Amino acid sequence: MRSITAKLILAFLLVGISGSLLVALILWQRTRSAFDQFVITREQEGLLSLLLFHYRQRGSWEGVEEAIQGLLEPSSSPRTPPGFWKRRRPFLLANAEGVILYSFDPGQVGRSLSQGELRRAIALEVNDKPVGWVVIAPLRPVPQPGSMEERFLRTVRSATVLSAFGAGVLALVLGSFLAFGLTRTLRELQRAALDIAHGKYGRQVDVRSKDELGELARAFNQMSLQLQRAVQARRQMTADIAHELRSPLTVIQGYTEALSDGKLEGNEEVYQILHQETQHLSRLVDDLRLLSLADAGELPLTLQPVDPRVLLERAQARFRVQAEHRQVRLVVEAQEPLPLIRVDSERAAQVLDNLIQNALRYTAADGTIWLRAAREGGQVVLQVSDNGSGIAEQDLPRVFDRFYRADSSRSQGGSGLGLAIAKSLVEVQGGSITVESAVGQGTTFRIAFPEEKTDE
């Protein structure tokens, strides 16, 4: 049985049948027990009434044995309980002193009742004085065929069987309804999973409840959307990588073919161009490798306490000449004192380098780039700000995407991976990076790291 729906229906059916049978059995046993007790009580009262009637008429137990034998005949008195004597229920009759006067076993007549028999004996009293004892043997009554008692028990038994059958049918119907309802979401999830397996990404299922199945459906929908985005991003990145590799390879291929065919003579300028394009390819491959390591969590890091101001001053020293060449001021502003941050100094420097290079690329002459550090709450925030051309509002959400450029005309000098690498490097060191910008007013990148806890 492979279908979970069939298994649930069978489970509900078995539980329903088991429960109904158990209830029917208990009901039948309790009803039969109560009925038997009623019959026994009625028969005992009838027997006691007949014996006391005989004693009151005679004033003694004289002739009681003959009177009892007469009652055993089919033509017994109308006072005899129906069916009682036909079952010949054994009993003992003893006088007030406990001497047995009558027994179904004639050998018992004349002996005295034992202590055990006296404990089970029923006292016969006339005018509040004991005149005898009756000991009735325990025996389950058996209704006679056609009697009122037999018809009553047959009616109860039929009602019990019908109730159990009805409960079983109801369990089957309700079980089927519940099973189909519970497994509907599972069936949709199964079909959606098969669609995804065949390349139909982004498949969604209806969320019909707020229970575990509803949570599962919501989680599946989220996973499906994320998978669709990841596949689209992978396809886009593959196309972008092919595009980025094609440009330098086309240049290299064109020059090498020209050199090979003798259409171009080798000189320093040609070799310099080939060298630059080769370096471009090498940087692109290194950047892609760095991103893949960061994504896989396998990027080697040497985390240690670092002074934020020192990081900024070293970055300023590395780009001072380039900034002066572009006539751009590079200013360091840091609060005092600043707590340390735990980072990999080389990776943190790589992040700052990417941001400063980006700022230099889009800041005009006589512009300014500020390298700031400040304490905010339990974090240290590093800022790289410029008063350059800025980024359009619609482009801000995608500036950290791989190979994304807000202005394709500004693609010279970069692979389109700088900001993506910066974001990955910051996050693997436990930090976060955000950007604020306005067209014509400049751009600010904010890098936040938790401050290093020191034992005072």
Q: Residues 437-443: what's their mean pLDDT?
A: 91
Go through the domains of the chain in sequence order and give each one's CATH number.
1-89+139-196 (no CATH), 212-296 (1.10.287.130), 304-450 (3.30.565.10)
| Nearest-angstrom CA–CA distance, 36 and 30 | 10
Identify the pLDDT of residue 143: 61
Residues 68-94: b if buried by 16+ CB within 10 A, e if exposed: beebeeeeeeeebbbbbbeeebebbbb
**Confidence band for 36, pLDDT divided at 50, 70 and 90:** low
Yes or no: say if 376 and 428 are a contact pair by the CB < 8 Å rule: no
**Confidence band for 410, pLDDT divided at 50, 70 and 90:** very low
Selection from 21-35, 82-96, 241-255, 367-381 with the highest mean pLDDT:
367-381
| Nearest-angstrom CA–CA distance, 403 and 84 | 103
| Residue 206 CB coordination number (10 Å) | 10
The DSSP output letter for 144 is: P
Phi, psi angles (nearest 5°) of residue 94: -125, 155
Number of H helices, E strands in the chain: 9, 11
Identify the pLDDT of residue 74: 47
For residue 138, say if its preceding peptide bond is cis, omega within 30 degrees of 0: no
E-only strand ranges, 210-325: 304-306
Q: Residues 427-447: what's their mean pLDDT?
A: 92
Q: Which two tokens stand for residue 298?
A: 């396998």
Identify the pLDDT of residue 455: 55
Selection from 6-15, 231-240, 385-394 with the highest mean pLDDT:
385-394
- Kindly tell me if the per-residue pLDDT of 300 is higher than 70: yes
For residue 44, CA distances in Å to 52, 61, 121, 141, 329 come to 12, 19, 12, 12, 119
Q: Residues 118-134: what's their mean pLDDT?
A: 86
Q: Is the pTM of this model over 0.75?
A: no
- Kindly tell me if the per-residue pLDDT of 412 is higher than 60: no
Sign of CA dihedral 38, 44, 49, 50: positive
Give the angle 388-389-392 at the CA atoms, nearest 5°. 135
Average pLDDT, the chain: 81
If one compares 230 and 350, the residue with the highest pLDDT of the two is: 350
| Nearest-angstrom CA–CA distance, 355 and 311 | 13
pLDDT digits (tens, 9 = 90+) for 309-364: 999 999 999 999 999 999 999 999 998 889 999 999 999 999 999 999 989 988 99
**Confidence band for 432, pLDDT divided at 50, 70 and 90:** very high
Q: Residues 44-52: what's their mean pLDDT?
A: 81
Identify the pLDDT of residue 340: 93
pLDDT digits (tens, 9 = 90+) for 76-113: 444 444 444 444 567 888 888 888 888 888 888 888 98
| Nearest-angstrom CA–CA distance, 383 and 445 | 6
Burial class (CB in 10 A: 0-12, 13-18, 19+), 118: middle
| Residue 451 CB coordination number (10 Å) | 18
Q: Which two tokens stand for residue 88?
A: 């010949």
If one compares 409 and 222, the residue with the highest pLDDT of the two is: 222
The DSSP output letter for 131 is: E
SS3 of residue 285 by DSSP: helix
- Bridge-based pairing state of the strands 304-306 and 122-126: unpaired
Q: Which two tokens stand for residue 364?
A: 């005009």
Selection from 113-117, 146-150, 223-227, 367-371 with the highest mean pLDDT:
367-371
- Kindly tell me if the per-residue pLDDT of 278 is higher than 80: yes
If one compares 418 and 10, the residue with the highest pLDDT of the two is: 418
Identify the pLDDT of residue 229: 80
